[in-house]
Amino acid sequence: MNVLIIGNGAREHALCWSVARSEGVQRVFVAPGNGGTALMGGKVSNVPLKVTALDDLLRFAVDNGVELTVVGSEAPLELGIVDLFRRAGKKIVGPTQSAARLESSKVFSKKFMQRHHIPTAGYHVFHDAPSAHTHIELTQTVFPQVIKASGLCAGKGVYIAFDKEQALRAIGELFEERIFGDAGNEVVIEEFLQGEEASVFALTDGTAYQLFLPAQDHKRIGDGDTGKNTGGMGAYAPAPLVTPEVMRMVEERIIQPTLKGMRDEGSLYTGFLYVGLMINEGEPSVVEYNARMGDPECQVVLPLLKSDFVAALMASVEGSLDDVPFEMHRKSAATVVIASGGYPDHYETGRAINIADELSAMEDCLLFHAGTEYDGARLVTAGGRVFSVTAVGSTLRESIDRAYRAVKMISFEGACYRTDIGARAL
Ligand code: AMP
Ligand code: GLY
């Protein structure tokens, strides 16, 4: 079977690695891929197509006998890639454009959760600055408040306002300066949730679902969760915070009613469902949904999957997910992101990368590339997040230590990373 993976981050490198291990897979194409997928060789090759070039991607899939396509990132889902492929009779993992609104419209997802009594922060929706200002004036004794652009903003459209001034500035950036363009046409202002965050990932055919191990992401750039928000600087799984009891609540109160709610509304949800949770005194509520796997969480949950990934992906498309094995290794995994100096603000690219030879010999260590480029001779940096260095171990401690040993074998000018990934769980 030939498989096409869409995206260019470490998440897609991990998807590619996992898919390529499947025996029934002859070729894996990654569009556009990165330096890491370019270097995989064997059955894996990059295809120079943008993730948003939907017609070209479909033509490529048809011309190259692609039997299964896996969408890594959210942009093509919002544009309707799943609808397009299905109309052409091509199998694809992901939700339709309508179902992907769970991620692409925060207004839709908040109203959906309210309709189906799924626990989440209380909220109000605004369409212009004056009404949002009035709301802030009326509620100014309750800070912090969380102010969010409704549309997709690559993880940057969320403000935590600790006082009225910060709230008004956020509203100004969204409605007046329009820094996120149309994604900020609607704004959600919601209650600040206390607690600790974790992520749960399901693969679903719309009715049946299978769960990966729960993970925790590290969103801030600096050690001790300080500094700016990023795409994610590291992750580990399983997250002990999500006890079996919490997981049971997440299934009963969140995952099952979400899938049933989408079915009842005529918008069957298929593919990966990412539930971002806040867990407070053992009670989970939803911070956000995403319609895809997380990055960097994917780089720790996939290496812990023992069963055949492609068989499960196929079953999710064919509606038979209840019939496939979906077992996890009884191990832990940690991933440390190495970023370009300056990320998440301005950073340089094109820096030569050095990787010590010992790294490839390290057992239970997986080097996933993100922003790298390989021109056939040289590997250089090409993005903010450059690598996601994953290690598996029999304990979380072992996986963290191993990942950091591997991190030290990689160098490029300006490289930076957090030194406390997973520390809070130890
Ligand atoms: P989102 O893009 O909705 O996941 O928000 C990004 C980050 O903002 C989350 O990972 C949380 O750390 C934080 N956040 C979002 N909504 C809330 C909330 N209602 N209460 C507390 N923190 C939040
Ligand atoms: N790790 C956060 C995200 O993928 O959105």
Q: Domains of the chain: which residue ranges?
A: 2-94, 128-185, 196-323, 332-425
* 158 Cα–ligand 1 center, Å: 7
| CATH class, 332-425 region | alpha beta
The label of the residue with tokens 């590291």 reads 234
Residue 42 token pair: 């064997």
- Distance (angstroms) between ligand 2 centre and the Cα of 153 equals 12
From CA 317, how far away is CA 91, in angstroms rounded?
7
Q: Which atom of ligand 1 is nearest to the CA of 121?
A: 19
Q: Which ligand is nearest to the CA of 217?
A: 2
Contact 123, 189 (CB under 8 A): yes
Q: Cα–Cα distance between 92 and 69 in angstroms, integer?
A: 5
Structure tokens given for 183? 């994604």
What's the rounded Cα separation, in Å, for the pair 49 and 72?
Answer: 14
287 lines ligand 1 (CB under 6 A): yes
> What are the residues facing 27 on neighbouring strands?
2
Q: What's the confidence (pLDDT) of residue 44? A: 97
pLDDT beyond 90 at 162: yes
Q: Which residues of 147-161 are buried (b: 16+ CB within 10 A; e: fewer)?
A: bbbbbbbebbbbbeb
Cα(298) to centroid(ligand 2), Å: 9
The dihedrals phi and psi of 191, each to the nearest 5 degrees, come to -65, 145
Pick the CATH number of 196-323 from 3.30.470.20, 3.30.300.30, 1.20.120.1200, 3.20.20.390: 3.30.470.20
**DSSP letter for each residue of 63-76:** HTTEEEEEE-SHHH
Output the CA–CA distances (angstroms, integers) from residue 381 to 37, 113, 336, 350, 410, in the order listed. 14, 41, 17, 5, 12
Centre of ligand 2 from the C-alpha of residue 296, in Å: 7
pLDDT of residue 376: 85
Percentage, residues of the chain above pLDDT 90: 95
The answer on pLDDT for 43 being more than 90 is: yes
- pTM greater than 0.85 (yes/no): yes
- The reply to whether ligand 2 has any atom less than 6 angstroms from the CB of 205 is no
Q: How far apart are alpha carbons 49 and 32 in whole angstroms? A: 5
Pocket flag, ligand 2, residue 297 (CB < 6 Å): yes
- Atom from ligand 1 closest to the CA of residue 120: 19
Mean pLDDT of the chain: 96
Q: Which atom of ligand 2 is nearest to the CA of 232?
A: 1
Give the pLDDT band of residue 142 (cuts 50, 70, 90): confident
Write down the pLDDT at residue 414.
97
Measured from the alpha carbon of residue 370, the closest ligand is 2
The whole-number pLDDT of residue 420 equals 98
Q: Which atom of ligand 2 is nearest to the CA of 217?
A: 1
Q: CA-CA distance, 13 to 370, in Å (whole number)? A: 8
Assign a CATH topology to domain 2-94: Rossmann fold (3.40.50)
**For atom 2 of ligand 2, which residue has the closest CA?**
294
Give the residue whose CA is nearest to atom 11 of ligand 1.
287
DSSP 292: S
**Distances in whole angstroms, Cα of residue 30 to Cα of each of 11, 76, 198, 360, 424:** 12, 14, 29, 22, 35
Measured in angstroms, how far is the CA atom of residue 201 from the centroid of ligand 1?
Answer: 17
Q: Which ligand has an atom closest to residue 152 CA?
A: 1
pLDDT tens figures, 351-364: 999 999 999 999 99
Query: Exposed, middle or buried: residue 89 (CB in 10 Å: 0-12, 13-18, 19+)?
Result: exposed
Handedness of CA 272, 73, 26, 213 (dihedral sign): negative
Q: Which residues pair with 288 in a beta bridge?
A: 276
CB of 297 closer than 6 angstroms to any ligand 1 atom? no
* Cβ-contact 382, 349 below 8 angstroms: yes
From the alpha carbon of 235, which atom of ligand 2 is closest? 1
Query: Helices (DSSP H) in 52-163: which residue ranges?
Result: 54-63, 74-79, 81-87, 101-104, 106-115, 129-138
Q: Cβ(119) to ligand 1 under 6 A?
A: no
List the one residue out of 174, 216, 183, 196 whose CA is nearest residue 106.
Answer: 183
Quick one: which ligand is closest to 189's CA?
1
Judged by its nearest atom, the ligand closest to the C-alpha of residue 297 is 2
- What average pLDDT does this structure show over 122-150? 92
The CATH classification of domain 128-185, taken from the options 3.30.1490.20, 3.40.1190.20, 2.102.10.10, 3.40.50.300: 3.30.1490.20
Q: Is the CB of 234 under 6 A from ligand 2?
A: no
